[in-house]
Every structure is written in structure tokens, then in C-alpha cells.
Structure 1
Amino acid sequence: MSHSLGIAIESLVAVLLMLTIGYCMLLNSRLKRLKADEHSLKATIGELITATEIAERAIGGLKHTVRDVNENLGNQLTSAAQMSQQLKNQLAEGDNVVRRLTRIAIAARPASAPEPAAPAVSAAKAVAAAAQAFSDRKRSDGLAA
């Protein structure tokens, strides 16, 4: 009996050692996968850091571009406001010239009695014709009167 008890104990130890070796092999394969995942994770983190740095540089460039656009837009708005004021002044001068031309045309009209059948349109035509005649005249230096 002692001999069979020794064999049973030795067999039990052998089975337990085989289970331990199998479990160690399983742990070894899991550790290899974990190491591989660690390397891929480090590579992914490195790529993420590189992408973050590129994005930060791009954001800095965009901020600089926005500053430049703001300055240019401000200058263009100022220029547009000045141009608008110049156009208003020129329109006012044009209105003054038209008023003076109208007065000149009215003064140049013959002092005959107005025809009763002639509507106001003929007076407007007369003003337009007088203004055209006035603009067709030339000064001695070649500029229109």
C-alpha cells in the first residue's frame, strides 16, 4: 500500500506539474499579446502626439490668417466708406450741375407765350434739348461747357 500511495502521490504531483506547465504556456501567450498590444499602443500614442502638434501649428496659422484678414477687411471697409462719401459728393455736384443746366435752359428759352395745347412734356423736352445743346458746346480749351 505504501508503494501504491507513493505512486498516487507522484502521479498527482506529475498531473499538477503538467497543469502548471499548461497554465504557464497560456500566461506566456497572453503576455506576448499584451507586449504586442503595448507596442501598437505606443505607436498609436506617438502618431496621436504628432497629429496634435500638426493641429496646433495649423491652428496657429489660422489665427495668424484671421488677424491678417481682419486688418485687410478693416482697411477695405475704411476705403469703401471713403469711396461712398466721394460718390455722395459727386452725386451732389452732379445734381447741382443739372440744376444749373436747367436754369440755363429755362433762361435760354424764347420768351414767347406758351401754347395752350402744349403739355408739360414739351417743356421737359425743351429743357433736355437745351441741356444737350449746352453740353455740345465746347470751350476754347476743348472741354465741354
Structure 2
Amino acid sequence: MSGLPFGVLVEAAVAVLLLVTIGYCTVLNQRLKRLHADKDQMRQMVADLVGATNLANQAIKELKQSAVEADLTLNARLEEAERFGIELANHVNAGTVLMERIAKITSVARHSQAIEPVEQPNKVQSALEQLSARVRTRGAAA
């Protein structure tokens, strides 16, 4: 060999390996510090996420309650509108019947005018008075 004792070569190899190990431990230590820092950030992030989830669940419950209340109010208004619609239809039907009666009375009055011109004012007048009385009684009943 070249004159270096075998022991020196072994010790030099061990020293190089120790230097590489120390360097690796330093890099590993830095990575572990970053991991612990990330772990603390992750814990904070999880805590924030849990808080946000709780807030979202509460908001969903309130939205469901508001939707139920709105549904009940809407159903009540729809029922009331339906009742008013039925009542309006009844009034329209009553008005139609009244208009038909007026048309019949008018046609009878015109027909009687052509046949009996002398008695026409009395019959027409009495028919109009009867019609007015009926309208008044219906108006008072409604």
C-alpha cells in the first residue's frame, strides 16, 4: 500500500461518514421543525374548520325554520286567496243572473210598450220598483 496505515484509512472513512450523518441530521432537524410548525397551523386550521362547520349547521337549521314559517304563511295566504276567488265567482254569477233578469224585464217592458202603449208606464214603473227592491235586499244581504 502507499504507506498509510490501514487504521488511518478506516478512521478517515468513519470521520467522513460521521460528517455526512451530522449533515443529514441537521437537514432532518430542519424538516422536523417545519413539520411541527405545520402541525400547529394544521391544528388551528382544523379548529377553524370545526367552528365554521358549527356555524353552517346553525345557519342551516335557521334557514329550515324560516322555510317552514314561509311555507305556512304562503299556504294560509293561498287558502285565503282561494276563498276570495270563490266568493268573487259567486258574486259574478249573482251579477250575471241579475243582468239576465234585467234583460228579461227590459225585453218584457219593450214588448209591452209595443202592445199596450197606454198601460206601459205603470207596468214598467212597477217592474223597475220591484227590481230596485230586489237589488236593495240583495245589497243588504251581501
Normalised by the length of structure 2, the TM-score is 0.72
Q: 1:41-75: per-residue Cα shift (whole Å, max 9, x none)?
A: 11221121111111101110111011101111110
Aligned to 1:38: 39
2:58 matched to 1:57? yes
Give the superposition deviation at 1:3: 7.7
Q: Where do 1:120-131 residues align within 5 Å?
A: none
CA distance in 2, matches of 1:5, 1:106: 142
Aligned to 1:22: 23
2:109 matched to 1:108? yes
Which residue identity does 2:97 align to in structure 1?
Answer: N
Which residue identity does 2:70 align to in structure 1?
Answer: V
Give the superposition deviation at 1:85: 0.9
Quick check: which one's helix share is greater? 2
Q: Which runs of 4+ in 1 moved over 3 A?
A: none
> Gaps (5+ residues) in structure 1?
114-129, 140-145
Which residue identity does 2:100 align to in structure 1?
Answer: R
CA distance in 2, matches of 1:103, 1:12: 129
Normalised by the length of structure 1, the TM-score is 0.71
CA distance in 2, matches of 1:34, 1:88: 77
Aligned to 2:97: 96
Give the superposition deviation at 1:76: 1.0
Which residue identity does 2:21 align to in structure 1?
Answer: T
Give the superposition deviation at 1:4: 2.5
CA distance in 1, matches of 2:13, 2:82: 100
CA distance in 2, matches of 1:17, 1:99: 117
> Gaps (5+ residues) in structure 2?
116-123, 134-142
> Secondary structure at the residue paired with 1:112?
helix
CA distance in 2, matches of 1:87, 1:3: 120
Give the superposition deviation at 1:91: 0.7
What's the RMSD between the two structures over aligned residues? 2.6
